[in-house]
Chain A
Amino acid sequence: MSIKFNFILFLATSFLIISSCSDDDNGTSTPPNPPSLPIEQYSNLHADQEVDYTTNPPTYSGEFIKFDFGTGSTTTSETDWDIAFRGTTILVNGGDTTGIAEEPLRTGNAAAYIYDGLFQDLTEVDESLLRLDDMYDGLAIPTGSGNGWYNYSSMVITPIAGKVLVFRTADGKYAKMEILSYYKDAPAEITNTIALSDNRYYTFNYMYQPEAGNTSF
């Protein structure tokens, strides 16, 4: 009987051991290399928009918020801007009108592409990949979940890790940008309240190469 009892005990304990097994295996993160150019951070760029859900499909409107890498700030200038934000849409000051409501006129030579990798690993701009905004080919930075810089799920916009936006500015200089958050003050956790009321606030890191024609960072 005791052998039998031991066997039951063995079963019970092996069951418990299996129950308590876990296979956590934390990966390693690579520390960023010290860059020669400074990494700037811009917080809470408020790119609000209005959405009219009574139409099908919904109509988006509102003013685009323009940003100038040279000054590191937003601007209302008609001509002296590099990129512009409204909701999740990002325009460049280069190319043609694409037909979006309240779209600013593009007067510069800006362009963009998306680099897959770490921010610090992008040391050289590949000019052959640069795209202009275009009515037929769409925006240089595409919109839509998973197409460009963000994923959209469970009401939350999350910047995709490893997507670096590479820009040629309106006056032919270069900048790279990593969007960190779409919510006010870049909170660590996006609650439902934050998702609904504190959205469309961009926080991003960027590096600007002020020397004209220099494609290195």
Chain B
Amino acid sequence: MMFISTFMSFGQSNETPNQDTSLRFLEDIGEVVISATRTNKNQNSVPLPVVIINREEIINSNFVTLEEAINEQSGLITIPDYGGGEGIQIQGFDSEHVLILMDGVPIIGRLAGTLDLKRFNLGNVERIEIVKGASSSLYGNEALGGVVNIISKSPEEGVRGDVNYRGSTWNTHDINTNLGFSKDNFGITSFFDHNRSEGYDLTPETSSKTVSPFYNFTSNTRISYAFSPKTSLTVTGRYYGQTQDYSIDSSNGESTIDEWNVTAKLDADWKGVELCGEVYISDYSTFEFIDNAQSERVYEARYDQRLFRPELRSVFNVNSNQEFIVGIGLNHEELVRSSFWLDPSINTLYSYAQYDASFFKEKINFIVGARFDNHQEYKSQLSPKVAIQWNGSEKFNLKTSLAYGFKAPDFRQLYFDFSNSSVGYTVLGYNAVPERLSELDNQGDIIEIIIPISEYRGKLQAENSLNFNFGLNYNPSKKLLLDANFFYNRVKDLIDTRVIARKTNGQNVFSYHNIDEISTFGCEFNLKWIPSDNLRISSGYQLLYAYDRAAIDEFNSDNVFGRLAPNQPVFRLERSDYFGLLNRSRHMANIKIFASIPRVNCDVNLRGTFRSKYGLFDSNNNNYLDDFDVFVDGYSIWDIALSKEVLGKFRVALGMDNVFNFTDADNISNIPGRSIYSKISFSFNS
């Protein structure tokens, strides 16, 4: 079963940890960050909570895909969904409320709201920036809980390349190469990756695997050309394709994903004003089917989403301390999928502006900005943001921000038209209700219309949030960094389903409406410490409360009841029995210890993450997660890795993920148990 590869291959010398490792470790707090303001800023001067995962951490930890890197950051975790995807959770927000960008442009392709982070190989990723809290003032839709920006490599001077191979348990292989060339005003860099795995099975007694065998291919190429010192063109293209094979009893199926995008960006400097014109087009399509033992097709589904987004933006520096950013753009989205009322196509025109300034000898940094999204199908959105930082001294600063975030109703919530063939219920998108419910009624399928059709002649509202952060940074010496951030999010108009009509078959017609209000709040603490030149330690902790406002009202009104078992007597629950939202852990923590052993030119690291107990479903069926429900126990995962440079151009790594072989087959599908890997990298440049 265990597969330990001894296969040899190759890596990049500028990727290997060097003598400055310790310094860079602390300085990464002072790294350049682009996602927070859309201009390059030093992380120290951005008055927002930002996390950076740099190339060094990616290399040292031997990460393959994005979800592995995310799971080791403070307050971040990925949550597996029923379709096998893993989406991020930030400040208690789930994946559908977090915007994922690649080099600043939005990634599409969500399954029931989840954007699967396993789609992103880190082989060519320079750094990952995560801005926590609402950022709709710059990015619009989906940026409530935060923004993750995956920044890929740019062409570097000369000829460079690397080849990497990583083999691990479950016959999992990842092989990739980066090739780059840059001279004078022309540069090109390409990345190719192939990843395959036999998957794994936490439940051998069932006929289907927990994760079925898959293989995927990623390719990324960027070409840049400078027409003049002030004008340049960059074209980036990405392709990702995955095939996964399913086998359940005697049925066989397959699901494929094809994603591609192209960005063309023209940058110009005109009399001190930076101008940028960008055209982005992306397509995400899936196809899946199941054939029975007689090779008859029993299930087939298609999904094809496309985004076209031209944008113009400009940065204008009033002086060295004041900067204006303005932008205007258009989102054109199309979708073709099974079980839809029509094939939707939506245009959103948007514009944004931001003023960024520092005052009093840079003691105060100040940002104010807003964005306006003019939409056809939901109420137009104005998303303001204000943030301020006070630098008390070189060792101490305070930052606070207040921002609005929103998520537009998705295509499913607007246009779904689905009837379950075995049970008989129907789900209709909000915009499909007037026409489709009348049709069902005329066909004699409806006994009773509970919510009048007239309620569906308006527009569904966007889900929206107000986000507040307050943080402190303390940097007492060059060897120690401490920070804390307190956050509060109030979310309104969350879209949920409700019964709108009863059918003659005893089942219901469901549709979507704005109802739920939630709040999430808590705090996060981080520490970075260099006890000696060869030892670096970082640790983080997040405390989180996430509540449904209506649930709190119900508990306070003594309207919630429970039973210890189906045949036990009923009792009334107290407010203190309410645990909160599903899948949110009260406590999450991590620790990372990186050490170098110069004598043998080796690097070792130990990394641990912990999450406390959480609820996966309302096991006692009273509609709320309370202390009498069945919880998933808290757990911790520990990883170790050892790496060594050989002959300057090679890096060899050996590691073990999930050392203590933690699994929970009933509740956690994305933790496969202990795995052992080896990785070999070779790099060259001239």
Q: A124 at interface (Cβ–Cβ under 8 A)?
A: no
- What distance in Å separates the Cβ of B26 from its nearest Cβ neighbour in chain A? 16
Partner of B508, one of A89, A144, A161: A144
Residues of B within 8 A of A4 (CB): 531-532
Segment of B129-137, B208-216, B271-279, B418-426 engaged in the interface with chain A = B418-426
User: B537 to chain A: which residues have CB within 8 Å?
Assistant: 8, 11
Is B674 close to A, CB under 8 A?
Answer: no
Instruction: List the one stretch of A63-71, A105-113, A187-195, A208-216 in contact with chain B.
Output: A187-195
* Interface membership of B563, Cβ < 8 A: yes
A42 proximity list for chain B (CB < 8 A): none
Q: Is A203 an interface residue (CB 8 A)?
A: yes
Q: Which of B249-257, B407-415, B621-629, B651-659 is near enough to bind chain A?
A: B621-629
A72-80, A134-142, A167-175 - interface stretch: A134-142
Instruction: Render A13-33 as a binary contact track against B, CB cut-off 8 A, 1 for contact.
Output: 001001101111111111010
Q: Which of B45-53, B340-348, B360-368, B605-613 contacts A (4 or more CB under 8 A)?
A: B605-613
| Contact A28–B504 (Cβ < 8 Å) | no
Asked whether A159 and B566 contact (CB < 8 A) given A19-B636, A25-B576, the answer is: yes
Task: Evaluate contact between A29 and B569: CB separation under 8 angstroms.
Answer: yes
Contacts of A119 in B (CB 8 A): 570
A136–B532 touching, CB < 8 Å: no
Pairwise interchain contact B422-A162, C-beta atoms closer than 8 A:
no
Question: Is B556 among interface residues, defined by CB-CB distance under 8 A?
Answer: no
B589 touches A15 (CB 8 A): yes
**In the complex, which residues 538-592 of chain B have their Cβ closer than 8 Å to any Cβ of chain A?**
539, 541, 559-563, 565-574, 576-577, 586-587, 589, 591
Q: Are A8 and B589 in contact (CB under 8 A)?
A: no
Cβ of B505 and Cβ of A161 under 8 Å apart? no
Q: Within A133-164, which residues are at the interface with B (CB < 8 Å)?
A: 135-138, 142-144, 146-147, 151, 153-154, 158-162
Q: Contact: A30 with B572, CB < 8 Å? A: yes
Q: CB < 8 Å: which of A57, A138, A161, A186 contacts B447? A: A138
Residues in B neighbouring A32, C-beta threshold 8 A: 569
Assuming the A-B contacts A15-B610, A160-B622, are A178 and B570 also in contact, with contact meaning beta carbons closer than 8 angstroms in the complex? Answer: yes
Question: Which single residue of chain B is at the shortest CB-CB distance from A147?
Answer: B499
Q: Is A99 an interface residue (CB 8 A)?
A: yes
Query: What string of 1s and 0s marks CB contacts (under 8 Å) between A39-79 and chain B?
Result: 00000000000000100111110000000000000000000
> Digit string of B508-550 for contact with A (CB within 8 Å is 1, else 0)?
1000000000000000000001011000010101000000000
Chain B nearest CB: distance from A76 CB in Å? 24
Which secondary structure dominates where chain A touches chain B? loop
Complex Cα distance, B505 from A53, in Å, reads 12
CB distance from A195 to the nearest CB of B (A): 11
Q: With A and B bound together, what is the CA distance between A186 and B563 in angstroms?
A: 13
Question: What chain B residues lie within 8 Å of A18 (beta carbons)?
Answer: 541, 587, 589, 610, 612
Q: Is the CB of A53 within 8 A of B574?
A: no
Please report the C-alpha to C-alpha distance between residue A143 and residue B119 in the assembled complex, in whole angstroms: 42
Query: CB < 8 Å: which of B502, B577, B634 contacts A27?
Result: B577
B620 contacts the other chain (CB 8 A): yes
With a cutoff of 8 Å between Cβ atoms, the chain B residues found around residue A161 in the complex are: 561-563, 570, 620-622
Q: By the criterion CB–CB under 8 Å, are B628 and A27 in contact?
A: yes
Q: A22-B612, A28-B574 are in contact. Are A58 and B560 (CB under 8 A)?
A: no
Specify which chain A residues have a CB less than 8 angstroms from the CB of B568 in the assembled complex: 188
Choose one: A29, A159, A190; the contact of B571 (CB below 8 Å): A29
A196 is an interface residue with CB less than 8 A from chain B: no
Contacts of B507 in A (CB 8 A): 57, 144
Q: How far is the CA of A215 from the CA of B626 in the complex (A)?
A: 34
CA distance A59 to B621 in the complex (A): 27
Interchain CB contact under 8 A, B566 and A158: yes
Q: Is B246 interfacial (CB 8 A cutoff)?
A: no
Which residues on the A side are within 8 Å of B636 (C-beta)? 19
Interface flag for A130 (CB, 8 Å): no
Task: Pick from B541, B563, B567, B608 the residue with the most CB of A within 10 Å.
Answer: B567
Contact with A56, one of B421, B561, B612 (Cβ below 8 angstroms) = B421
Asked if B627 contacts A27 (CB within 8 A), the reply is yes
Knowing A53-B422, A137-B448, A144-B499 are in contact, say whether A27-B573 is a contact too (CB < 8 A): yes
For B560, list chain A residues within 8 Å (CB).
162
State how many angstroms separate the Cβ of A167 from the closest Cβ of chain B.
18
A129 CB–B CB distance under 8 Å: no
- B303 in contact (CB, < 8 A): no
**Does chain A have a CB within 8 A of B452?**
no
Contacts of B608 in A (CB 8 A): 15
Q: Kindly state the separation between the CA atoms of A56 and B617 in the bound complex, as whole angstroms.
A: 30
> Contacting A7 at CB < 8 Å: which of B499, B529, B541, B562?
B529
CA distance A137 to B422 in the complex (A): 25
Is there an interface contact between A186 and B569, defined as CB atoms closer than 8 Å?
no
Closest to A12 in B: B591
Chain B proximity of A1: nearest CB distance (Å):
8
Does B503 sit at the interface, judged by CB under 8 A? yes
A126 part of interface (Cβ distance < 8 Å): no
B480 nearest CB across to chain A (Å): 10
- Report whether B508 and A58 are in contact in the complex, using a CB–CB cutoff of 8 Å: no
A188 and B566 contacting across the interface, CB-CB below 8 Å = yes
A93 in contact (CB, < 8 A): no
Given contacts A27-B573, A32-B569, A187-B567, contact A7 B561 (CB under 8 A): no
B621 partner residues in chain A, CB cutoff 8 A: 151, 153, 158, 160-161
B506 contacts the other chain (Cβ, under 8 Å)?
yes
Known: A135-B447, A143-B506. A27 touches B567 (CB 8 A): no
Evaluate whether A25 and B565 lie within 8 angstroms (CB atoms) in the complex, with A18-B589, A60-B506 already known: no
- Give A47 to B240 CA distance when docked, in angstroms: 54
Residues of B contacting A151 with CB < 8 Å?
621, 623
Give, as a whole number of angstroms, the nearest-CB distance from A201 to chain B.
Answer: 12
Given A28-B574, A160-B621, the answer on whether A136 and B566 have CB atoms closer than 8 Å is no
| B576:A27 contact, CB within 8 angstroms | yes
How far apart are the CA atoms of A23 and B544 in the complex, in Å?
Answer: 13
Which residue of B508, B537, B571, B577 has the most chain A CB atoms within 10 A of its CB atom? B571
Q: Is the CB of B577 within 8 A of A25?
A: yes
Alpha-carbon distance A136/B446, docked complex (angstroms): 9
A181 within 8 A of B: yes
State the Cβ distance, A188 to closest chain B Cβ, in Å.
4
Chain B residues with CB under 8 A of A190: 566
CB under 8 Å from chain B, chain A span 96-117: 98-100, 116-117
Across the interface, A25 reaches (CB within 8 A) one of B447, B587, B591, B627, namely B627
- Contacting residues, chain A, for B423 (C-beta < 8 A): 57-58
Bound CA span A203–B567, Å: 9
Q: A30-B572, A118-B561 are in contact. Are A188 and B504 (CB under 8 A)?
A: no
Whether B508 pairs with A186 at a CB distance below 8 angstroms is no
Q: Across the interface, which residues of A come within 8 angstroms of B571, CB to CB?
A: 27-30, 118
Establish whether residues A15 and B539, one from each chain, have CB atoms under 8 Å apart when the complex forms.
yes
Among A26, A29, A116, A136, contact of B448 (Cβ-Cβ < 8 Å): A136
CB pair B424–A116 under 8 Å, yes or no, is no
B25 to chain A, nearest CB (A): 16
Shortest distance between the CB of A34 and any CB in chain B (Å): 14
Interface positions of B (Cβ within 8 A of A): 419, 421-424, 447-448, 499, 502-508, 529, 531-532, 537, 539, 541, 559-563, 565-574, 576-577, 586-587, 589, 591, 593, 608, 610, 612-613, 617, 620-623, 626-628, 634, 636
A-B CB contact pairs (8 Å), 14 listed:
A7-B531, A11-B537, A15-B591, A15-B608, A19-B634, A29-B572, A56-B421, A89-B506, A116-B559, A118-B561, A144-B502, A144-B508, A153-B621, A162-B560
Write the residues of chain A forming the contact surface with B, with a CB cutoff of 8 angstroms: 4, 7-8, 11-12, 15, 18-19, 21-30, 32, 53, 56-60, 89, 98-100, 116-119, 135-138, 142-144, 146-147, 151, 153-154, 158-162, 178, 180-181, 183, 186-190, 203
User: Lowest 7 A-B CB distances belong to which pairs?
Assistant: A162-B561, A57-B424, A29-B571, A57-B505, A161-B561, A186-B567, A27-B577
* Known A118-B561, A138-B502; further 13 A-B contacts with Cβ < 8 A: A4-B531, A15-B608, A27-B576, A30-B571, A119-B570, A158-B621, A159-B566, A162-B561, A181-B566, A186-B566, A186-B567, A188-B568, A203-B567
